[in-house]
Amino acid sequence: MSREPNAINLGKVVSVRGSVVDIRFDEQLPPIYSLLSADQGRIVIEVLTQLDAQRVRGIALTPTQGLARGMLVENTGAPLQAPVGKGILSRMFDVFGNAIDREAEPTDIQWRSVHRAPPPLVRRSTQSEVFETGIKVIDVLVPLERGGKAGLFGGAGVGKTVLLTEMIHNMIGHQEGVSIFCGIGERCREGEELYREMKEAGVLPNMVMIFGQMNEPPGARFRVGHAALTMAEYFRDNEHRDVLLLIDNIFRFIQAGMEISGLMGQMPSRLGYQPTMGTELSGLEERIANTDNGAITSIQAVYVPADDLTDPAAAHTFSHLSASIVLSRKRASEGLFPAIDPLQSSSKMTTPGIVGERHYRLAQEIRRTLAQYEQLKDIIAMLGLEQLSPQDRNVVARARRLERFLTQPFFTTEQFTGLQGKLVSLKDSLDGCERILRDEFKDHPESALYMIGAVDEAKQKTKSAKPASSAPSEPAQQTQAKTFTKPPAEAKSQL
């Protein structure tokens, strides 16, 4: 990537302030986004602004220890580039395209600039197609769009990364696509665990991983998303394959931009965020699109600071998404996994014209039932279930069975839970919800519907549990208060 050094592409360091470096070029200023290298290529700097006719200001993509005023800096004459091609499959990279999986450097690859324009509108597909995940609660209530962007919103420790890894497992399993996992500012142990799990699951051959870890400078974390998108665009445009791009975590991209903005001396905006946050996020998100060649479908984990969905980072990200999956700490504490809040989550795909009349009607009825249960919780807490009308008690029974049916054992958590993972088709998910709403399972205990795949498994669970308790079964309404049969974590706080 570098050329022979000469007077035209050599400059001198004027000042170093953390990751921000000012460099003087007497002959010719390098263009914006050019990469500069110092200390025999050990330190890499990206030009962000031209201060005057002879000075540029850049952000270091590597640690700046050892960089001093007066040191020579070489203009490489090219922007940051990412490797593309079949040779990158099953490999793990850093932001510079170096393999970090202890294997030999990949062959059969090309290098492309990470700064690329989004596809023009004339090339974008105008059809809306549903993207099945095999996860009941998502496919029924928050269907994803092929070529769309879905956000996983949640605080720390509610299951964002587990849900992402499960989707990778399901997607590669039943779709002939490529998965690209982009870790922005995440923990290095998560990358190592993901690599090992994907290798054991046998899905690594159709997967690429790229990481800008938590301890790396903000410049590297800021550019790793662009590098991942460059790889995804190659598979979409050159190989005409569908790509699943998983980003964990888009908030760290905004956070890295905030750090760079502060270091560059820009005036902060609301809550300390950078004034250019909307532009930077759009520059990344608009490249994720469905074209006539293929689709890049993106699922992005979004850390929500202090669980506040009105935070500017969360609010700006919402505006780009076709589906918002909100994870609830309360549901996680009750043992209802995946801990997706069905009332706060939404998808623009849930219309009769896209998912069909039956699916739309069922989704609306499920939401209505769960919303009524939510309203009745206060009355139950104060007066008890017995004070409700028979009609309301039926609503509670249905809602609690639906909540349990929408839980699901994951393939990626088998070693922790001991439960075999389940992949459930959309047809089975809709059938199960419809039969529960018709009260077909009102005489089955709620626990029979917890952590199962298709709804018929509940009948087998009930049969196998019957010899243990030969007591006659009472009507469901009368026994609700006595036998809530909840997961262990729910015992004290079911309401």
- DSSP states along 404-447: HHT----GGGHHHH-PPP----HHHHHHHHHHHHTTTTTTS-GG
461 SS3 class: helix
CB 164 within 8 A of CB 179: no
| Contact yes or no for 155/306 (Cβ under 8 A) | yes
187 catalytic per annotation: yes
- The first and second tokens of residue 442, run together, are 């009102």
Q: Are 152 and 133 in contact (CB under 8 A)?
A: no
160 is a catalytic site residue: yes
Contacts for 350 with CB less than 8 Å, ≥ 6 apart: 141, 142, 143, 359, 360, 363
Q: Identify whether 221 is a catalytic site residue.
A: no
On whether the CB atoms of residues 133 and 171 are closer than 8 A, the answer is yes
Minimal CA–CA distance to 276: which of 300, 252, 259?
Answer: 259
Q: Identify which of 328, 337, 401 has the alpha carbon closest to the alpha carbon of residue 366.
A: 401
Catalytic residue among 69, 187, 463, 466: 187
Spatial distance between the Cα atoms of 180 and 132, rounded to a whole number of angstroms:
18
Catalytic residue among 74, 132, 166, 186: 186
| Catalytic hit among 57, 146, 149, 160 | 160
Are the C-beta atoms of residues 161 and 248 closer than 8 Å to each other?
yes
Helix axes 218-237, 277-285, angle to 10 degrees: 30
Q: For the chain, give percent helix, strand, coil, nearest 5.
A: 40, 20, 40
Active site residues: 160, 186-187
